[in-house]
A and B are shown apart, each in its own frame.
Chain A
């Protein structure tokens, strides 16, 4: 299951991680390089989604886990709902915990986006633009 040998296999077998890293970098790039505030927020969203994806794929028995731990159930024995990604009665369960955690993370992400959008709207009302450069310029004109 755990394959740390740096063969070509790691790229394919762990494709979920590569995807989330790629998404993360895209989001990061957008946040840093884009001047448009809205694009920054989109970047932020991509970044957060990438992390959510990472967590969610952790829970999956066929994809998850670098080391020991996740694939082992946190409660061993007769509680099927708690058995994370183990074969019990011939059924592969995904570990539900990371998924549940991500519900919270999604909520947090939504809240962050909401606040960010609210700020952007107010800035648009104030300055008539959502380009960072232009806002800074207008501030300078106002002499702050």
Chain B
């Protein structure tokens, strides 16, 4: 089998990243400063490869790569179709932004641990990419564990209370992964195969089999823990709020999203739409997600710690994504049908929440500000950072033409088409709750005066501008800008063909067989 260069990329994305992780470890002994450079360069190369992969997938077709030349179903196969390629680009883009940001902030926060931080970070990226590109379900489990283990360690890196948060995540995350493994075992016991495509061919006659159905439930529950779907989200607030900010951004923007990807992949590539229509699981998921949306937002309102508030907001946002996934089998429109809203929101949430967590990190970096009530006057002190926060926050609220608005409209349209009007109300209510807790922050930053702060009449007020370094500011501003730009881009429907291909792949949306 002769492969074009691009068709080698799926495995190279993993290999390069993995090798780089160990290179960092070794290079770090010699020179601590090299760690960041290697990590940054690797992720940049990976991103370029991912973009090539996406292009190839869209123009030529799905990439199949057989590891070691073993043909499936015996060997491990990497399969990259439109869905993975899209997720891969998101993963690596945010990873690149976070690593750029981390240069100064890690040097400031964890000066002793630079080497191990970047080693683990690179392993995390490896795991995330691995989950994304693999076409073998057991291999997926292994990669899930790889990224989870690196995430546990990274979350704990600040020590103290973060240790406890990390431990909780570890216990729950392991349970989730074990459930996933159990699901694999169930499937294997009835099919004898681990290759996703192979499974999807063997399974259809067995859909009535209780073992197959139980396996699906195990997958859903296991991955729901990993993606912090309400009510299995209990690990998330602590983990998000006590991790270093770039890791919070990764956790919220990518890690839980990749778990969602895994669920989508299992649901539609291993099982199929026909199976999902057999069981009411997706309807159930919709309701769970709706509760998650509301309760996540309400809990966010109760928080005073910014990062914790953002963490609860993530719970609510995962509800959005899962609601969209849940609706995906009952919509048939060419535009908002199928997985389009869900995948759209995966990207949008990565942009918004990534930005917000990085901004939260900036406040901590500059002045150890954790609580919202301490943000008085920040609007003048850190104008660019605060402006970025505001852009991302109004995106979360869903003010047009931001990304949040586009997601909201698409999900609402999907709700309407599937006739579930109650979820329209949920969506609208949730954007109001978002308003409440984000506006509180904006108001404090811009409008509230600190005690004793005189009402300054002149423009050149006493508070000097005290911004974060450029290497942190650029990532923040990039994400904030993208929150608005991508919103317009979505509205122009330029990226929709990618999502349309995903629907075509799974027979969803307008490709659904009525």
Contact = CB atoms under 8 A, between A and B. Distances in A.
The answer to whether A and B touch in the complex, with CB atoms under 8 Å apart, is: yes
A44 B192 contact: no
A48 B159 contact: no
A90 interface: no
B507 interface: no
B211 A44 contact: no
Contacts of B192: 68-72, 74, 84, 95
B175 A115 contact: no
Contacts of A64: 189
Contacts of B185: 51, 54-55, 58, 98
B142 interface: yes
Given A31-B171, A66-B211, A105 B181 contact: yes
Contacts of B160: 126
Contacts of B153: 115
A136 B238 CA distance: 12
Given A31-B171, A37-B167, A122-B159, A47 B178 contact: yes
Contacts, number: 104
B182 interface: yes
Provide the main secondary structure of the chain B interface. helix
B163 A122 contact: yes
Contacts of B211: 66-67
B201 interface: no
Interface string A25-47: 00010010000010010001001
A67 B209 contact: yes
B166 A119 contact: yes
B73 interface: yes
A136 B161 CA distance: 9
B167 A116 contact: yes
A104 B136 CA distance: 14
B188 A98 contact: yes
B190 A68 contact: yes
Interface in A64-107: 64-72, 74-75, 82, 84, 95, 98, 101, 104-105
B189 A58 contact: yes
A112 B194 CA distance: 23
A70 B142 contact: no
Interface string B193-227: 11000000010001001010000000000000000
Contacts of B178: 47-48, 51
Contact count band on B: 35 or more
Provide the main secondary structure of the chain A interface. helix
Contacts of A95: 192
Contact of B171 (A44, A51, A71, A98): A44
Contact of B149 (A31, A48, A115, A136): A115
Contacts of A58: 185, 188-189
Contact of B206 (A51, A67, A75): A67
Interface residues of A, number: 43
B156 A144 contact: no
A111 B73 CA distance: 28
A65 B166 contact: no
B164 interface: yes
Interface string A105-144: 1001001100110011011001000000001100100001
Given A108-B145, A111-B149, A66 B174 contact: no
Contact of A115 (B170, B191, B194): B170
Contacts of A75: 74
B117 interface: no
A119 B156 contact: yes
B170 A119 contact: yes
B152 interface: yes
B189 A66 contact: yes
Interface string B143-183: 00100010011001001110110110011001101100110
B282 interface: no
Given A70-B189, A74-B74, A126 B174 contact: no
Interface of B: 73-74, 138, 142, 145, 149, 152-153, 156, 159-161, 163-164, 166-167, 170-171, 174-175, 177-178, 181-182, 185, 188-194, 202, 206, 209, 211
Given A51-B182, A70-B190, 12 more contacts: A37-B167, A55-B188, A69-B192, A70-B189, A74-B192, A101-B194, A112-B174, A116-B171, A119-B163, A122-B159, A126-B163, A139-B164
5 contacts: A48-B174, A98-B185, A112-B145, A119-B166, A122-B156
Closest 10 CB pairs of A and B: A69-B192, A67-B190, A108-B145, A70-B192, A69-B191, A123-B163, A119-B167, A58-B189, A66-B211, A66-B189
Interface of A: 28, 31, 37, 40, 44, 47-48, 51, 54-55, 58, 64-72, 74-75, 82, 84, 95, 98, 101, 104-105, 108, 111-112, 115-116, 119-120, 122-123, 126, 135-136, 139, 144
